[in-house]
Amino acid sequence: MNPTRLRRIRSFVKREGRMTAAQNHALEELLPRYGVTDLTHNIDLEQLFGRDAPRFLEIGFGMGSSLLEIAENNPQHDYLGIEVHRPGVGRLLIDLDNKQLANLRLINHDAVEVLQQAIPENSLDGVYLFFPDPWHKKKHHKRRIVQPEFVQMVRHCLKPGGIFHLATDWQHYAEHMMSILSTTEGLTNKAGKEYYSPREQRPETKYERRGQRLGHEVWDLIFIKN
C-alpha cells in the first residue's frame, strides 16, 4: 500500500470556530498528561494505560461526550480517542480531568496518520467510527474517510476477532460503507451478508440527535476481523 495515497485528499476540513480560554489551557496543560503526543513510532499501549486490558479506539470523537460515557461505564476497558479539531479535544480534556478517568487517553491528530504510524498491528479489540462527515455531494465522495485503503489500515490494527463498528445517518454513505467493508478481505459482517446491525452498546451522539430531528434514519455496521 502506498502510504501517501490517502494523504492527497483529506477527509476533513478544519472549521474550529472559537476556542475558549479553558479549552486552550486544557490543550497546553492537560494534553501532555492525558494525551499521546509522540506519534513517530508505535504506541506502547500497555505502558500508556498501565495494564493489559481490552482496548478500543474511537476515530473522530467530536466534543467527546459519548466517548467519555463509554469509558466511564466500562472501567474494565481502555479507550483511545482521536480527533483533529482542537476545541473538541480541549472540551474532552476538561471533562476527563474532572472525572479523573485512568482508562481514556486522547490524540489530537489526523486519524489516518495515527493508524499508519502509531497503532501497533493486532493491538485493538475494537475501532469505532460514528457519524463521520458524509460529504454528501457527489463531487466530494472522494473525501469520505471510509475507502478501501483506510479499512485495510483499521483491519491491520485490530486483533483477530476485533470489531469495526460504524454508524451513519446518511443512507448513501451507509450503502457506500457496506459495499467497501463487504468486499474487504479478512472482515465478516456480524449481522450477515448485506445486513445492518441493530444499535448496541453505543451512546447516542450529538450528531445522531441532530439527524433524528431532521428525520434521518441511522444505520450501524459491525464487521469482525477473521
- What confidence score (pLDDT) does residue 136 get? 67
Nearest by Cα to 45 from 165, 166, 159, 164: 159
- What confidence score (pLDDT) does residue 11 get? 46
Q: How far apart are CA 35 and CA 107, in angstroms?
A: 6
Which position among 52, 78, 133, 220 bears the catalytic label? 133
Helix-helix angle 86-99:21-29, to 10 degrees: 70
% pLDDT > 90, the chain = 79
Domain boundaries, the chain: 53-225
Helix (H), strand (E), coil (C) string for the chain: CCCCCHHHCCCCCCCCCCCCHHHHHHHHHCHHHHECCCCCCCCCHHHHHCCCCCEEEEECCCCCHHHHHHHHHCCCCEEEEECCCHHHHHHHHHHHHHHCCCCEEEECCCHHHHHHHCCCCCCEEEEEEECCCCCCCHHHHHHCCCCHHHHHHHHHHEEEEEEEEEEECCHHHHHHHHHHHHCCCCEEECCCCCCCECCCCCCCCHHHHHHHHCCCCCEEEEEEEC
Condensed to tens digits (0 to 9), the pLDDT of residues 120-141 reads: 999 999 999 999 998 666 764 7
CATH superfamily membership of 53-225: Vaccinia Virus protein VP39 (3.40.50.150)
The total number of residues shown for the chain amounts to: 226
Cβ-Cβ contacts under 8 Å for 28 (sequence gap 6 or more): none
Residue 133 appears among annotated catalytic residues: yes
CA 152 to chain centre: 15
Condensed to tens digits (0 to 9), the pLDDT of residues 1-55 reads: 444 444 445 544 555 668 899 999 999 999 999 999 999 999 999 999 999 999 9
Condensed to tens digits (0 to 9), the pLDDT of residues 41-92 reads: 999 999 999 999 999 999 999 999 999 999 999 999 999 999 999 999 999 9
- What confidence score (pLDDT) does residue 143 get? 74
Q: How far apart are CA 33 and CA 121, in angstroms?
A: 25
Give burial (CB, 10 Å; 0-12/13-18/19+) of 21: exposed
* Assessment of whether the complete model's pTM goes beyond 0.75: yes
Q: What are phi and psi of 10, to 5 degrees?
A: -80, 150
Condensed to tens digits (0 to 9), the pLDDT of residues 173-225 reads: 999 999 999 999 999 999 999 999 998 778 877 777 777 787 779 999 999 99
